[in-house]
Amino acid sequence: MRRTMSLSARHELIASLRARYVLADRTEKANILNEFTATTGLHRKYAISVLKTNTSKALARNAQKRVGRYIVDPEIWTGS
């Protein structure tokens, strides 16, 4: 039976491992990834992206207002 980790516990683990992962060399990163994937059950490639991404910057980037590409003339919609 596979046990799952709560989301809050996973976030705490990510926060604690992120600083170590960023500063680590290649062999240490491999060890951190092995530990992280064994603990969380997440896929290795996803774990790499999670540990490399600073979530506060990613959330701020996604929260920016999107600007539309096209400006539509109102006369087109009204048929005048």
Phi/psi-derived region of residue 27, left when phi > 0, alpha when psi is between -120 and 50, beta in every other case: alpha
For the segment 55-62, the average pLDDT, to the nearest whole number, is: 59
pLDDT of residue 53: 82
Establish if 80 belongs to a structural domain: no
Count the neighbouring beta carbons within 10 Å of the beta carbon of residue 26.
6
The pTM for the full model equals 0.62
Q: What is the pLDDT of residue 11?
A: 86
Give the model's pLDDT for residue 36. Answer: 92
CA distance 68 to 36: 40
Q: Which range has the worst mean pLDDT, 1-5, 18-22, 35-39, 41-45?
A: 1-5
Amino acid 63: pLDDT? 60
Residue 53 lies in a domain: yes
Residue 43: which domain range?
7-63
Q: Is residue 17 part of a domain?
A: yes
